[in-house]
Amino acid sequence: MPGPVQVNLICGPLGSGKTSLIRHLLTQKPANENWTLLVNEFGAAGIDGAIFDCHPSTQVFELPGGCICCSAQGELKNTLHYILTQTNTQRLLIEPTGLGEPDSIVDLLRSLDQQQQLQLQTLFSVFDAAFLKLDEVARYTVLQNLMNMADVIVLNKQDLANATQLEALSDYCRTLYPPKKAVVITRQGEIDASALLDHVHHHHADHTNSSHRHHHAHALSRHHDPSLPHLLPFKGIDFGTQVTRKYKFELGVHALGYIFAPEYVFDWKKVLTLFQDFTNSTGRVGIKRAKGVFRVGNPWMLFQWSNGQVSREYIAYRRDSRIELLIEKDQPFDFTGFETALQTCLKP
């Protein structure tokens, strides 16, 4: 009789480096183990699923279009039921949205009918050490939640962080209760897979905060169907019939995505300029995160932007080209200007 599926949550704010950490973990997967990755993206275009598509030895399930803490709870339960009954998964990695709260997810996992088939092990909370400030931790309950619930805190992007700030964050994390299994300082999410193992997550009931529950209930009540075109906050340009635009608004964030048929080819230099403009252009303020995979000839490239930093690399994904932005509410973002700039990145 096989033992329970070992479950790890990889949590953290948008742009903290969760995706990079998971990609690094997947490169260390033992050949004789069956791993499954469950990705819950806030947006609807499914960029992270495309990124992980290049790991054929790992099953990837996507839950785009809603947060599993609130509007996507039903989809999470159905997907977990399928994984437990129809696959031979031994380890399940769950990446919630950057807006998700780990206590809600842990509570949900422990409420499932199949909870005895799951063993929650190390819970990771990943932070951008170059961007996180201690006064923000004191001010925002979502950051406190991530730190308190974590078994391992990952202070990522150490190569971009100020040494004094990094030391202050490390010292603070080591004062937290319950004590952390580890506080790991890393760059590009390079963590040893041994951190996944041999530690059963201990969930404290008093972490549950009634104000969090109210926040998610309110968010669910204003969730919109992303397929409704009249909800666009701007008049979109005509990309043609082989381009799908996806949009939704939830939790005070606009999620705007585009999926291009594989026949479309992009000029990578123009795409790079587009992403760099997220930092430099006053008309692009309010972006919380941007990711995209683009066909740039025979290869495809992955572009990522968060906290003013742009990265570019080759990727094995080949199905289509896609990009998604997460944009803060009430920010003066030039939607039409962005779409025009995106269109000019296409090769004739």
Tell me the domain boundaries of the chain: 5-216, 224-344
Looking at residue 301, its pLDDT comes to 94
pTM for this entry: 0.71
pLDDT at 3: 80
Per-residue confidence (pLDDT) for residue 262, from 0 to 100: 93
Each residue's pLDDT expressed in tens, for the chain with a length of 348 residues: 568 999 999 999 888 999 899 988 988 898 889 999 998 876 666 677 677 766 667 888 887 666 665 556 777 888 888 999 899 999 999 998 776 678 888 888 888 878 888 999 999 999 999 999 998 998 888 898 899 889 999 999 999 999 999 999 999 998 887 789 999 999 888 888 887 765 566 554 333 333 333 333 333 222 333 344 447 888 888 998 899 998 888 778 888 999 999 999 999 999 999 999 998 776 677 888 899 999 999 899 999 998 888 999 888 788 899 999 989 887 788 899 999 999 999 998
pLDDT of residue 201: 65
Question: Do the beta carbons of residue 162 and residue 127 sit within 8 Å?
Answer: no
Q: Which homologous superfamily is 5-216 in?
A: P-loop containing nucleotide triphosphate hydrolases (3.40.50.300)
The Cα–Cα gap between 17 and 36 comes to 19
Q: Which of 102, 188, 111 is nearest to 150 (CA)?
A: 102
Contacts of 243 (CB under 8 A, 6+ apart): 258, 259, 260, 261, 264
* pLDDT for res 207: 38
CATH class of the 224-344 domain in this structure: alpha beta
Q: Output the CA–CA distances (angstroms, integers) from residue 88 to 6, 28, 82, 95, 114, in the order listed.
A: 12, 19, 11, 20, 15
Q: What is the pLDDT of residue 227?
A: 40
Say how far apart CA 10 and CA 126 lie, in whole Å. 7
For the chain, the residue count is 348
Contact 34, 87 (CB under 8 A): yes
Residue 157: φ, ψ to 5°: 65, 40
pLDDT for residue 115? 81
